[in-house]
């Protein structure tokens, strides 16, 4: 018994020494070399990839990128709990946010298109038809030029950026009727692909062969059409900071907005680069032509 | 109908039920493993994930899952064991005990996202742990304690009172009886409880999204100093687990091989749970033999 | 000499000290759990009640309203936060899946403990423990690719709805209910069975009249835990139930549960806003409903239990 005690004590002392030694030899990581960005899951891959890039170029920095949703991102950056809040909506559009306390940094543009199940036999609609479908005035695809099939509406969750943008610019501020909801693009695409008669909407980068994208009023959902606003359903991806952001946060956002990232990562992830946009749009939805060069 | 016929009918019904369950469960497991197996390779198991190109793996996520599981168990098992012992051996059967029991049961119906948000506000923001394995482990402890406590209590209750009387008659104190006789005797059942809750921890996603986070920074597997940021052992780094990774891929994944990765990761998860299961059983069996000298 | 002996006798022995220490430590562990449990309950309650106190939503309107659009105010100037569709959705799915799962779970548990303990321990138990470890996302995904199309082709509709949710939850709660029922049956003393068999009862009579009765409280707990899991399950149900805030009018029409709306919405709202508070109120409703479940089951249990 006594001998066992002794060994235990020795082990404990050894562990403490080892711990102290490890603490002494740790790589020094200053507190202001780490920032945290939280928010939109749709924007997360871009910021994460840019963050990794940034960290390899600036040794000792660490960009911690997390999801949690635009609402979480905005409320946490407002509280000062995180350095950057990623959002797919303007802070003005999110209830409960004090816009005056936040600084908006737009980093990319995403186009949103209606998608339908391939069995509907529909590949173009007018805005009017779209509104009628989502407000429940039309129940069958035959009424809008498709096959005789019941329309199944699939919405994004209330308050999600994609839905807000879609209802505002796609449905001209009409509110969709209560219908099925999903909270992620991947899930929406999967369900539309497998459910006969279904219609929903996703960002351009989620469109693939399994679903049919819709031509709206004869305009194709392409990046070029978004750039000059002839395709009206698009939104900015924002990185919000407080009024006095951390220097590293500022530098990092500058980096994301730089030509280097805008021309490579942003495009590869299916976003539209800020440099390509021929128009700008503010929180009230006013569209303006871009003069001269961007920034 | 004579008792004998009804006996026959009832017993054969039970056979039917049990085999139905086996068929359902086997089909489910088979589906997961067969659809995931083609994606699994050594490369898949060891390389880091990729955000938007194909060919990513789940190495870091797999490690994170195990590390988080171990940390959570280290925190929650002693607490649950103590609470289970107190509830079963010491607590008086009155309304206070009943209230505590009900509260614990009610807690287990809270959706894990609520536990996750609670953990986020308390540990990540309030205590300043940030998005880290430690925050995740604490949130999972909350989530895990009700079920684990309950099953430990049940396990202890299943030990016949004769064992307790025997211990006391030998002149042992109540605590010594519990520690040296009751707990070892209940070990197999406690182990079942631990395995069950380990499975749940392993598969939990919603509670971790807000606490351990959903990004997996690159790790340096040659650096085992727990104070370094890139060290796998650092409990203060954000860590996406396998279940969270599956969730993330299914919801917003834009890599071309998202489907294959997701089913591969599911299969890896199930196989890991299986491995963990077997290991725990083996260790438990050895331990049981040593402690009870049986 | 006498004094010394007295001192020695009056002093707590080492075992008594250990006893006190052990009792205190285990008590502290229980207290820790109790405190955290109540902290979470108070946290949810305070957030959930602020919908009524700081946003002045009428409780009756909240519980009986049929429209859930927290962003929109209705004709009375109040936000549309009616939770009746979600309450009924949660309730129906939970009860249905528990009704479906209970006979299977208890049947399997009896099989594992009474009829074929050997095979039970060798095959069934590991499989069941394995199932607990499958993440909800995977259950949901299988539900989406297998259950929903099956429901669509057999029962019609879009496939999304309460029925699909019930099937998925049935499989999800099965392991929990089964393994806890097994524990309950195992804790029935052996001599109960021996006594019944000695009286000439058949195996089934022994099981039905003695073992099951004695294990009733434990099995009820198992069902409560299963229902609690079903009630709180979010990710998997959310993928197959359709998530439409509509009163369920048939088993195959899209519906929603408290948790599915809570989980989809919580990331998209801002803390402290009405939209966010309304979601916390859903969590509160969930807590209260599971409290009611708990009490009801306990009441039934008290009646059905054999007096000891």
Q: B73, B114, B201, B265: which to substitute to probe chain C, counting the most C Cβ within 10 Å?
A: B114
What residue ranges do the domains of chain C occupy?
84-268
**Which of the four pLDDT bands, split at 50, 70 and 90, describes residue B104?**
confident
Percent residues over pLDDT 90 in chain A? 29
**Which of the four pLDDT bands, split at 50, 70 and 90, describes residue A25?**
low
What CATH class has B42-292?
A: mainly alpha
Judged by CB atoms closer than 8 Å, whether chains meet at C71 and A158 is answered as yes
Residue B27 vs residue C158, higher pLDDT = B27
State pLDDT tens for residues B46-95: 887 776 777 777 888 888 999 999 999 999 999 999 999 999 888 888 88
Q: Which of A159, A191, A197 sits opposite C268 (nearest CB)?
A: A159
Q: Give the gap in angstroms from C-alpha C21 to the nearest C-alpha of chain B.
A: 9
Cβ-Cβ contacts under 8 Å, B176 against chain C: 15, 18-19
What residue ranges do the domains of chain B occupy?
1-39, 42-292
Q: Give the gap in angstroms from C-alpha A260 to the nearest C-alpha of chain C.
A: 31
CA separation for the pair A203, A160 (Å, rounded): 13
**Which of the four pLDDT bands, split at 50, 70 and 90, describes residue C170?**
very high
Mean pLDDT, rounded, of chain C: 84
In angstroms, what CA-CA distances link B149 with B87, B146, C182? 9, 5, 17
Position A295 scores a pLDDT of 44
> Does the structure show a pLDDT above 60 at B131?
yes
**Which of the four pLDDT bands, split at 50, 70 and 90, describes residue B290?**
confident
State pLDDT tens for residues B14-44: 889 888 888 888 888 888 889 888 888 888 8
Judged by CB atoms closer than 8 Å, whether chains meet at A26 and B228 is answered as yes
For chain C, the farthest-separated pair of C-alpha atoms sits apart, in whole angstroms, at: 93
Write the DSSP string, chain A: -HHHHHHHHHHHHHHHHHHHHHHHTSPP--GGGEEEEEE-TTTHHHHHHHHHHHHHHSTT-EEEEEEE-HHHHHHHHHHTSSSEEEESS-GGGSTT--GGGEE--EEEEEEEEEEE-GGG---EE-HHHHHHHHTTS--BGGGGTS-S-B-EEEEEPTT-HHHHHIIIIISTTPPPPS-EEES-HHHHHHHHHHSTTEEEEEEGGG--TTSEE-EETTB---HHHHHTTSS--EEEEEEEEESS--HHHHHHHHHHHSHHHHHTHHHHTTPBPGGG-SEEE-TT--EEEPPSS--
Q: Give the gap in angstroms from C-alpha B78 to the nearest C-alpha of chain A.
A: 20
Please compute the mean of the pLDDT values over residues C180-202 and round it to a whole number: 88
CA separation for the pair B196, A211 (Å, rounded): 40
Position B78 scores a pLDDT of 92
Position C121 scores a pLDDT of 72
**Which of the four pLDDT bands, split at 50, 70 and 90, describes residue C305?**
low
State pLDDT tens for residues A132-143: 999 999 999 999
**Which of the four pLDDT bands, split at 50, 70 and 90, describes residue A294?**
very low
State pLDDT tens for residues A269-286: 888 998 888 888 888 878
Q: A101, A102, A180, A192: which to substitute to probe chain C, counting the most C Cβ within 10 Å?
A: A180
> Does the structure show a pLDDT above 80 at A22?
no
**Which of the four pLDDT bands, split at 50, 70 and 90, describes residue B174?**
confident
Domains of chain A: 34-107+233-285 (3.40.190.10), 110-227 (3.40.190.10)
Residue C147 vs residue A18, higher pLDDT = C147
State pLDDT tens for residues A236-261: 999 999 988 888 899 999 999 998 88
> Does the structure show a pLDDT above 50 at C254?
yes
Q: For residue B113, which of A284, C176, C236 has the smallest C-alpha distance? A: C236
Judged by CB atoms closer than 8 Å, whether chains meet at C225 and B246 is answered as no
Position A129 scores a pLDDT of 93
In angstroms, what CA-CA distances link A221 with A189, A207, A224? 16, 10, 9
Please compute the mean of the pLDDT values over residues B220-225 and round it to a whole number: 72
Residue C157 touches chain A, beta carbons under 8 Å: no
Phi then psi dihedrals of residue A103, to 5 deg: -115, 130
> Does the structure show a pLDDT above 60 at A1?
no
> Does the structure show a pLDDT above 70 at C304?
no
Residue tagged 């103590």 (tokens): B82
Q: C255, C269, C279: which to substitute to probe chain A, counting the most A Cβ within 10 Å?
A: C269
> Does the structure show a pLDDT above 50 at C308?
no
The CATH fold assigned to C84-268 is MetI-like fold (1.10.3720)
CA separation for the pair A72, C245 (Å, rounded): 23
Judge if ipTM > 0.85.
no
């Amino acid at each position: 018994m006594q001998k066992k005690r002794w060994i235990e004590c020795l082990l404990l002392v050894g562990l403490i020494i080892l711990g102290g030694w490890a603490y002494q030899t740790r790589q020094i990581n200053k507190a202001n070399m780490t920032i945290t960005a939280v928010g939109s899951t749709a924007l997360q891959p871009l910021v994460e990839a840019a963050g990794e890039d940034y960290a390899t170029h600036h040794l000792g920095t660490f960009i911690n990128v997390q999801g949690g949703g635009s609402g979480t991102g905005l409320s946490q950056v407002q509280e000062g709990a995180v350095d950057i809040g990623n959002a797919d909506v303007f802070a003005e559009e999110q209830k409960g946010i004090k816009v005056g306390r936040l600084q908006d940094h737009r980093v990319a543009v995403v186009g949103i298109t209606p998608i339908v199940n391939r069995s509907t036999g529909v590949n173009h609609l007018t805005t009017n038809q779209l509104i009628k479908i989502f407000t429940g005035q039309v129940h069958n695809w035959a009424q809008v030029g498709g096959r005789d099939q019941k329309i199944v509406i699939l919405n994004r969750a209330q308050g999600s950026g994609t839905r807000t943008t879609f209802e505002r610019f796609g449905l001209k501020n009409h509110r969709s009727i209560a219908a099925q909801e999903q909270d992620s693009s991947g899930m929406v695409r999967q369900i539309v692909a497998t459910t006969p008669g279904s219609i929903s909407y996703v960002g351009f980068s989620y469109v693939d062969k399994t679903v049919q994208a819709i031509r709206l009023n004869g305009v194709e959902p392409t990046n070029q059409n978004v750039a000059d606003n002839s395709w009206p359903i698009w939104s900015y991806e924002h990185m919000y900071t407080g009024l006095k952001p951390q220097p590293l946060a500022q530098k990092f956002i500058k980096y994301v907005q730089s030509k280097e990232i805008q021309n490579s990562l942003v495009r590869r992830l299916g976003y539209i680069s800020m440099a390509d946009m021929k128009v700008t749009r503010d929180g009230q939805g006013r569209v303006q032509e871009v003069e001269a060069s961007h920034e | 109908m004579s008792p004998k016929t009804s006996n026959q009918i009832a017993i054969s019904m039970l056979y039917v039920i049990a085999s139905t369950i086996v068929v359902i469960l086997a089909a489910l497991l088979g589906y997961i493993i067969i659809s995931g197996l083609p994606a699994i390779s050594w490369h898949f198991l060891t390389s880091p994930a990729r955000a938007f190109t194909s060919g990513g793996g789940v190495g870091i996520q797999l490690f994170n899952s195990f590390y988080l599981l171990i940390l959570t168990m280290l925190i929650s098992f002693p607490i649950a064991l103590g609470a289970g012992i107190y509830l079963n051996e010491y607590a008086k059967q009155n309304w206070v005990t009943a209230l505590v029991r009900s509260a614990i049961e009610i807690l287990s119906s809270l959706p894990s996202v609520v536990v996750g948000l609670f953990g986020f506000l308390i540990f990540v923001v309030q205590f300043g742990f940030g998005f880290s394995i430690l925050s995740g482990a604490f949130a999972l402890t909350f989530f895990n304690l009700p079920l684990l406590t309950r099953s430990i209590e049940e396990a202890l209750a299943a030990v016949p009172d004769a064992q307790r009387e025997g211990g006391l008659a030998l002149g042992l104190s109540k605590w010594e009886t519990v520690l040296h006789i009751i707990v070892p005797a209940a070990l197999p059942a406690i182990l079942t409880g631990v395995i069950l809750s380990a499975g749940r921890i392993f598969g939990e996603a919603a509670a971790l999204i807000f606490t351990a986070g959903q990004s997996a920074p690159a790790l340096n597997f040659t650096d085992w100093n727990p104070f370094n940021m890139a060290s796998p052992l650092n409990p203060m780094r954000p860590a996406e687990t396998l279940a969270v990774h599956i969730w993330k891929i299914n919801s917003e994944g834009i890599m071309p091989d998202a489907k294959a990765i997701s089913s591969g990761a599911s299969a890896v998860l199930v196989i890991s749970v299986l491995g963990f299961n077997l290991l725990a059983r083996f260790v438990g069996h050895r331990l049981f033999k040593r402690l009870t000298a049986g | 000499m006498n004094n010394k002996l007295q001192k020695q006798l009056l002093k707590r022995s080492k075992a008594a000290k250990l006893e006190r220490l052990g009792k205190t430590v285990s008590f502290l562990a229980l207290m820790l759990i109790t405190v955290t449990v109540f902290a979470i309950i108070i946290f949810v309650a305070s957030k959930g009640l602020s919908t009524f106190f700081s946003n002045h939503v009428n409780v009756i309107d909240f519980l009986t309203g049929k429209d859930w659009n927290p962003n929109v105010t209705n004709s009375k100037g109040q936000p549309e936060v009616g939770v009746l569709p979600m309450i009924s959705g949660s309730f129906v799915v939970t009860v249905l899946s528990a009704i479906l799962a209970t006979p299977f779970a208890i049947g399997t548990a009896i099989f594992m403990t009474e009829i074929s303990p050997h095979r039970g321990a060798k095959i069934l138990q590991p499989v069941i423990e394995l199932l607990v470890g499958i993440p909800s996302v995977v259950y949901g995904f299988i539900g989406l690719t297998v259950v929903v199309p099956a429901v669509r082709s057999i029962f019609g509709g879009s496939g999304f709805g309460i029925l699909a949710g019930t099937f998925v939850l049935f499989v999800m709660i099965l392991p929990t209910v089964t393994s806890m029922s097994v524990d309950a049956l195992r804790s029935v003393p052996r001599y109960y069975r021996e006594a019944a068999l000695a009286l000439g009862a058949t195996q089934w009579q022994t099981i039905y009249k003695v073992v099951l009765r004695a294990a009733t409280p434990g099995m009820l707990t198992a069902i409560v835990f299963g229902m609690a899991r079903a009630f709180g399950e979010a990710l998997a149900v959310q993928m197959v139930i359709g998530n439409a805030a509509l009163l369920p009018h048939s088993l195959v029409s899209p519906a929603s549960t408290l948790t599915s709306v809570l989980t989809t919405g919580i990331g998209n709202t801002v803390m402290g806003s009405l939209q966010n508070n309304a979601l916390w109120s859903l969590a509160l409703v969930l807590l209260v409903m599971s409290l009611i479940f708990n009490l009801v089951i306990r009441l039934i249990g008290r009646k059905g239990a054999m007096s000891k």
